[in-house]
């Protein structure tokens, strides 16, 4: 299989790339910066027997997204999986407070990027006769729960969710699979950048709940990739943090015994 993951030189996207490579699938990574692409390709080359390559791509520009598809086809012959992962999250602002430039970043990257990626992938899949498209939803997004200070971000992911429902409705070929991924709240570089903006005393207050909710990238991504590889049902939401799993973690946190401390490895 040949896989394209947008926004994949670090964070969740890179974690997905690693797991596909470990399973013998060729991967195309992308980022807006050439230096990041070069570094990721060099480091990922030793992951497994499969091949990895990459190129720069600004997902807010459709021409860039089409060029990424063309590059993948030129490199590996076809694209079997396309994952719209590139985007940005923030948990620092209520809706009325969020700066204008960040609104543009969230809407352009999270929603327009998914639109352009979906357009390019679906057109390509129709031409080659098959393929699987997945749009990345936020954390444990299910369209029901509200997360404080994430109104605009969550709105873009709601838009991605509705976009995907339309894509499923419009594409009835059983060989074209369309779905969504809810990866859980994963500790990534971007996540840490957000946390550093929080007052240290306030961060210590929320640390216990973060130890319940969060996971490392390498904990979630192997399961996510296995689910994508095995899925034959269009419209499926692949969700790492289910309601049952979440309730189980809260229950375990109340019981005697060792507690999760995800941040010890970072010296926090």
Active site residues: 153
Q: Cα(78)–Cα(183) distance, rounded to whole angstroms? A: 26
Q: Cα(130)–Cα(121) distance, rounded to whole angstroms? A: 10
Cβ neighbours of residue 32 under 8 Å, at least 6 residues apart?
Answer: 56, 57, 58
> What H or E segment, with its residue span, contains residue 124?
helix 113-128
40-57 burial code (b ≥16 CB/10 A, e <16): bbeebeeebebbbbbbbb
Task: Using the structure block, give the residue that is written with the tokens 């060029």.
Answer: 67
Cβ neighbours of residue 26 under 8 Å, at least 6 residues apart?
Answer: 1, 2, 3, 50, 51, 52, 75, 76
> What H or E segment, with its residue span, contains residue 180?
strand 176-182
Q: Cα(227)–Cα(239) distance, rounded to whole angstroms? A: 9
Per DSSP, 109 falls in state I
Torsion of CA 42, 44, 45, 47, to 10 degrees: 150
Tokens of residue 195, six digits:
């946390």
14-30 burial code (b ≥16 CB/10 A, e <16): bbbbbbbbebebbbbbb
């Amino acid at each position: 299989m040949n896989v394209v993951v947008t926004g994949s030189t670090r964070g969740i996207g890179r974690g997905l790339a690693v797991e596909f490579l470990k399973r013998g699938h060729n991967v195309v990574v992308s980022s807006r910066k050439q230096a990041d692409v070069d570094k990721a390709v060099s480091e990922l080359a030793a992951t497994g027997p499969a091949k990895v390559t990459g190129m720069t791509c600004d997902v807010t520009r459709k021409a860039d997204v089409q060029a990424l598809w063309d590059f993948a086809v030129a490199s590996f012959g076809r694209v079997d999986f396309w994952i719209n992962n590139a985007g940005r999250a923030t948990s620092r602002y209520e809706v009325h407070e969020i700066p204008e430039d960040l609104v543009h970043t969230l809407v352009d990257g999270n929603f327009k990027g998914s639109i352009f990626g979906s357009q390019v992938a679906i057109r390509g899949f129709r031409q080659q006769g098959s393929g699987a498209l997945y749009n990345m939803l936020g954390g444990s997004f299910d369209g029901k729960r509200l997360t404080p200070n994430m109104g605009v971000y969550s709105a873009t992911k709601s838009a991605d969710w509705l976009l995907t429902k339309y894509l499923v409705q419009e594409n009835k070929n059983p060989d074209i699979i369309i779905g969504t991924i809810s990866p859980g709240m994963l500790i990534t570089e971007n996540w840490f950048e957000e946390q550093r903006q929080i007052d240290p005393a306030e961060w210590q207050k929320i640390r216990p709940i973060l130890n319940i909710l969060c996971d490392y990238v390498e904990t979630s991504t192997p399961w996510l990739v296995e689910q994508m590889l095995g899925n034959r049902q269009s419209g499926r939401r692949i969700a790492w943090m289910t309601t049952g799993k979440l309730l189980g973690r809260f229950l375990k946190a109340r019981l005697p015994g060792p507690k999760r401390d995800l941040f010890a490895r970072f010296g926090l």
